[in-house]
Structure 1
Amino acid sequence: MPRHLHLPYHQSAAHETITQAQRLQLLRDLVDPAKPFFQRDRAAALLLALFAQPLTRIAALTMNDIDLSGDEVRITLGSHGPIPVPEPFGQILRDHAADRGPRNIEANRTSPWLFPGRRPTQHVHSTYLMNQLAKSRINLLGTRLAAIRILVLEMPPAIAAQALGYTPECAEDHATLAGATWAGYASHQRQRRDPEA
């Protein structure tokens, strides 16, 4: 072995996001009943594209994480508590929860998991979900990155982190990459409520 071993620094490749227009088109496709998605895949892709949820977290959601009791569907993804699912997307989750297929078997109807696996005691494996969504040519990572970067532009990263189950550091990193500046957020919100302030 030489006395001085040089190991080149490994720099991870930048991940390419999809555009906001592509993300919106995917969301339109997900609510279009003419598009050939299994209801389960439609619901999983919705949580990916709308709330930037990784497939490992989507797969492990339980029926207790979704509130279908009121007029508005609410889902718990982070420590912030339930967040509303806007329509028409809420109906997709209602339809999926009523028939947690694609196989309509008794074990699925009584399973505690929002996305049941082949065995009643287990949720679907995230790799299986990944393969199913990839068949629909959904850019999984690009979609999730686009969603989180839009969300941290629309709300302060700390709030996005709590609502979506991300760490504050991760949300801040995405906000920086998205070009968000939240230094004047409090005064901006105050002015929106009281324009004469």
Structure 2
Amino acid sequence: MAAGDLPISHSTLDALPLSPRVRYLRHMLISAGTLPAIDVLLNDLEKHATAFIASLPREHGAVTGQYFRWQLLRKARQRSAVRAVTPGVYSTRSTELRKIAGFLSWLDTNGLSLSSLDQASVDRFFAHHHSQAAVGTFLNWAIRQGLTNPVQIPGRKPAPPRPPVPDDILWAKVDQLVDDESIPLGSRLIGLLVLVFAQRISDCVRLRRSDVTDDETMRIALGRTPLTLPSPIAALLRHHLEELSTRRPYLDGGPDWLFPGATPHCHVSEASVALHLVPHKIHAREIQQARIDHLVQTVPASVVADMLGININTAVRHAARTNSRWGNYPELRASPTGE
């Protein structure tokens, strides 16, 4: 392309093997306005799936390709219209394809096919193969399409109740992130938003600078109601914003990400943040759930949902699981004594 022998186009890049370098170049050309904007990971997912399906035996490839186009790709495109496909979604969909291909191979090995599949074989497969939710979803689709018999898919075993995370451990992690300068500042701030405000990393990385206001008191909009940041976190965020103001952008314009990544016009990846936090035993999902459990015991679930930007049903479930007295908040509010 640089020599002028090939057109600068998405088609030219699509002809190259998938790689981080090609993905970076595509992002660069899009951010410069040289190429039209597309969802890069959605494009790569379709390209990866096409190559993978082509490598399967013909009959397996036919049914897997049909499932991918009408189920996985359709849903990915619907998601992309609202939010770009993430590396996590890309990885999950790729793994689902591999699991489905593995199931079809298992059928062949056992002298079976989709059309001859019976309940005993389904039970045997799921009894000896774990983490096969993708196969269950595929089989339900195959049943609806009339490709296999109406078998029953074993339900998932409920996860055991997670042990509570003591408050002293949570606040010790907060102190660590406030003080530990060996952790990149952006990851420290995201970790603090997880620990203090029960945020998901996936939501934190998509915050914009416009979500932050600093008029003597620094506030951040995580939900509908902006939250005042504690002074240690506010000080770190001011420092972070000062650092951002001195960075020379790849190109002018683009999204005002609060946590920009290395790829032009893209926010930092969830994986890179987790990579910085996990060595310090900060597991975002576990801590976020524990923090919501604590908050719904302190204030009504509706207030928690409004402040943190989480679904009200999620907050209510946490309140019910923790036997929060705020579960009857409307009645308590109406009571003269609050008893």
Equivalent in the alignment of 1:73: 218
| Runs of 4+ with deviation above 3 angstroms | 1-7, 14-17
Distance 1:44 1:100 in 2: 15
**1:121 and 2:265 aligned:** yes
Superposition CA RMSD, Å: 2.5
Measure, in 1, the Cα distance between the counterparts of 2:185 and 2:305: 28
**How far apart are residue 22 of structure 1 and its match?**
0.8
Aligned residue in 2 for 1:10:
156
Structure 1 position 40 matched with structure 2 position 199: no
Equivalent AA in structure 2 for residue 176 of structure 1: A
Cα distance in structure 2, aligned partners of 1:172 and 1:73: 29
Provide the C-alpha distance between the structure 2 equivalents of 1:46 and 1:172, rounded to a whole number of angstroms. 24
Structure-2 residue corresponding to 1:106: 248
Query: Which shifted more, 150-159 or 10-19?
Result: 10-19
The residue number in structure 2 matching 1:23 is 170
What code does the residue aligned with 1:31 have?
A: V
Whether 2:296 is the aligned partner of 1:157: answer: no
Matched, 1:148 2:292: yes
TM-score (norm 2): 0.50
Secondary structure of 1:74's counterpart equals strand
Deviations 1:91-137 (CA, angstroms, capped at 9, x unpaired): 12222222249xx73128x7611100113411111122122222333
**5+ unaligned residues in a row in structure 1: which ranges?**
193-197
Unaligned runs of 5+ in 2: 1-116, 121-150
8 Å Cα contact 1:17/1:142 also seen in 2: no
Aligned pair count reads 185
Q: Distance in 2 between matches of 1:94 and 1:185?
A: 40
1:64 aligned to 2:210?
yes
CA distance in 2, matches of 1:132, 1:187: 47
CA contact (8 A) 1:66 1:76 kept: yes
CA distance 1:141–1:3, change in 2 (3 Å): closer
Q: Once structures 1 and 2 are overlaid, which stretch shifts more, 37-46 or 13-22?
A: 13-22
**8 Å contact kept, 1:40–1:100:** no
| Percent of aligned pairs sharing the same letter | 24
Whole-angstrom CA distance in 1 between matches of 2:271 and 2:208? 18
Residues 152-191 of structure 1 show CA distances to partners (whole Å, capped at 9, x for unaligned) of: 1121101110111111100001112222122254157x75
Using the TM superposition, give the Cα deviation of residue 29 of structure 1 relative to its aligned residue in structure 2, in angstroms. 1.3
**TM-score, with normalisation over the residues of structure 1?**
0.82
**What letter matches 2:278 in structure 1?**
A
Structure with greater helix share of residues: 2
* AA in 1 matched with 2:333: A
Q: Give the corresponding residue for 1:91.
A: 235
Q: Which has the higher contact order (CA 8 A, sep 6+)?
A: 1
1: CA distance between counterparts of 2:158 and 2:261?
A: 33
- What CA distance in whole angstroms lies between the structure 2 residues aligned with 1:99 and 1:35? 14
